[in-house]
Amino acid sequence: MLPKASSYPELIERFRWQVPERFNIGVAACDRWADGSGRTAIVYHRPDAAPQQISFDALSQQSNRLANALSALGITAGDRVGILLPQRPETAVAHIAAYKLGAIAIPLFVLFGEEALEYRLADSGARVLITDRSGAEKITALRERLPDLAEVICVDGAAEGARDYGATLADASDAFTPVDSHADDPAVIIYTSGTTGPPKGALHAQRVLLGHLPGVEMPQDLFPQPGDLFWTPADWAWIGGLLDVLLPSLFHGVPVLAHRMAKFDPEEAFRLMAEYEVRNAFLPPTALKMLRAVETPGRRFNYRLRSIGSGGETLGTELLDWGRSTFDLTINEFYGQTECNLIVSNCASVMPVRAGSMGRPVPGHNVAIVDEDGQPLPLGEAGTIAVKRPDPVMFLRYWNNPEATEQKFAGDWLLTGDQGTMDDEGYLRFQGRDDDVITSGGYRIGPGEVEDCLLKHPAVAMAAVVGVPDALRTERVKAFVVLAEGEEPSEDLARDIQTHVKIRLAAHEYPREVAFIDTLPMTATGKILRRELREQATDV
């Protein structure tokens, strides 16, 4: 959607939104390319087998079959469809089928534990879940507590309480007429990190894909270009994998490399990008830091990247310089959040990239620094980063939470909760978060969900979670725990508490440090003073 331009002012001047009244993500990202030509949509890297190429034609047929199968099971427009799968072709099929059907997709992270899955499936009222054998096993223990979940479909074959995906599709027709959806019809719920209490479900419309396009094209140096092929190590369950990479690439007819590492391996990442001639990548800052530790990659791997985008934290001069020397390109930092993503970006093709800056507002988005009442502040003055509505990339509302939706806005300004400044050329600098979110390994972790899980351990009376500086992860999760009466601090108990969180939430959310304290610092109204805990952790 971005016009050809040689400067940022020219981009701004020439850009206009093109959002039609009727729009369907499944049709736009798949069916319009399914013309019988065999055009490649997904390249699936399988460690134990030859790579598999999935065409748009096959993607269209398979998603039609799944849409018909879901319809036969009673799923209709507006019903929620949970998708608990890693990067693999069936994940894309499931999303596209849900959008064609007019259902609402619920992407779920494969490393979520039982409590995290139960909360999201129950809150969304998901009626069907598409998963693999590992996910089906997790759900077995939860089914009695999920009355809305009528069906589970397993892509690895029949499992306890789950239908066989292959057999289910085999009986369905590959002809399907997609719902003629309005651009504002609901399409996907992506849950936030739970920074202030339980995670909130950000409900996005079909138009969210169109809203993302400028913010994808800008950090990827005016994507797409001939020969482009996109990859990210970020899971497609996150907004960064789904709407920063997978769906925008398919919309443009650009193939996506599908491969999720069990654990990020920088050597493997270099080899993978070289083997498949990856041209475009979204690499979170932690991945970049790990890649930087690989010795002489330019001599060992014949990679040919054209663009790299990164977001989640500020990139410093050292990392930018390393990127230029290693890849012969400038890594473009960008910024957004689940409710309103990809609204600020750098783009080395059309403007200078300044170390420490997130970039400038992406064309089409009205971004400003405002006070707590939503009043724009003078340039250079610190305040809350805000986005003005209406905006195609902005969420519709929080699912089942009108109060939180109302609190997210001050007038027509969506308040990100992040603090920053803007200079006289429009460059934004991030200063900090006012919601205590922890950025660790490229993930945004809210303390509320982790603290809630900690409190369910029988030895824990009270708990607070903060992020402390970490050279590799930016921050690591540290828990301050007040023990229940009769419990004694020990290394074994600390490890048991860590395991408790790891298996119930997710491996990236567990506290890598546990400190036992007598009392938690609190305000007069009973709010935990996490600032004091962060200071205490830093002083140790």
DSSP-based three-state secondary structure for 308: strand
Range with the poorest average pLDDT among 116-130, 204-218, 287-301, 335-349? 287-301
DSSP category for residue 426: -
15 to 1, 10, 222, 240: CA distances (angstroms): 8, 8, 13, 24
Q: What confidence tier does 394 reach under pLDDT thresholds 50, 70, 90? A: very high
Burial class (CB in 10 A: 0-12, 13-18, 19+), 469: exposed
User: CA-to-CA distance for 376 and 221, rounded, in angstroms?
Assistant: 30
Q: What is the DSSP string of 38-88?
A: --EEEEE--TTS--EEEEHHHHHHHHHHHHHHHHHTT--TT-EEEEE--SS
Task: Tell me the pLDDT tens digit for each residue of 511-540.
Answer: 999 999 998 887 544 567 888 888 887 765
Mean pLDDT, the chain, whole residue set:
93
CATH number of 438-539: 3.30.300.30
pLDDT at 285: 85
Name the percent of the chain lying above pLDDT 70: 97
User: CA-to-CA distance for 442 and 335, rounded, in angstroms?
Assistant: 12
- What is the average per-residue pLDDT within 299-304? 96
- What is the average per-residue pLDDT within 278-283? 97
The torsion region of residue 236 among left (phi > 0), alpha (psi -120 to 50) and beta comes to alpha
pLDDT at 527: 63
Tally the residues of the chain: 540
User: CA-to-CA distance for 94 and 90, rounded, in angstroms?
Assistant: 6
pLDDT at 320: 92
Q: Is the pLDDT of residue 293 over 70?
A: yes
pLDDT at 535: 85
**Predicted TM-score of the model (pTM):** 0.88
Task: Tell me the pLDDT tens digit for each residue of 226-240.
Answer: 999 999 999 999 999
186 to 202, 364, 405: CA distances (angstroms): 10, 21, 16
Residue 44: half-sphere exposure toward Cβ, Cα within 13 Å = 16
Task: Tell me the pLDDT tens digit for each residue of 433-445.
Answer: 766 778 888 887 8
The closest alpha carbon to 99, from 215, 207, 216, belongs to 207
CATH topology of domain 24-38+49-181: Rossmann fold (3.40.50)
pLDDT at 462: 85
The structural domains of the chain, with segments of one domain joined by +, span 24-38+49-181, 438-539
Comparing 430 with 145, the larger pLDDT belongs to 145
Rg (CA), the chain: 23
User: CA-to-CA distance for 112 and 125, rounded, in angstroms?
Assistant: 18
Q: Is the pLDDT of residue 249 over 90?
A: yes
- What is the average per-residue pLDDT within 41-47? 95
Task: Tell me the pLDDT tens digit for each residue of 164-176.
Answer: 999 999 999 999 9
DSSP-based three-state secondary structure for 129: strand
Comparing 359 with 430, the larger pLDDT belongs to 359
Q: Is the pLDDT of residue 195 over 50?
A: no
pLDDT at 335: 95
Task: Tell me the pLDDT tens digit for each residue of 312-322.
Answer: 777 888 889 99
301 to 211, 232, 296, 318, 327: CA distances (angstroms): 35, 18, 9, 22, 11
Range with the poorest average pLDDT among 155-159, 176-180, 260-264, 325-329? 260-264
Q: What confidence tier does 197 reach under pLDDT thresholds 50, 70, 90? A: low
Tokens 């209709």 belong to residue: 76
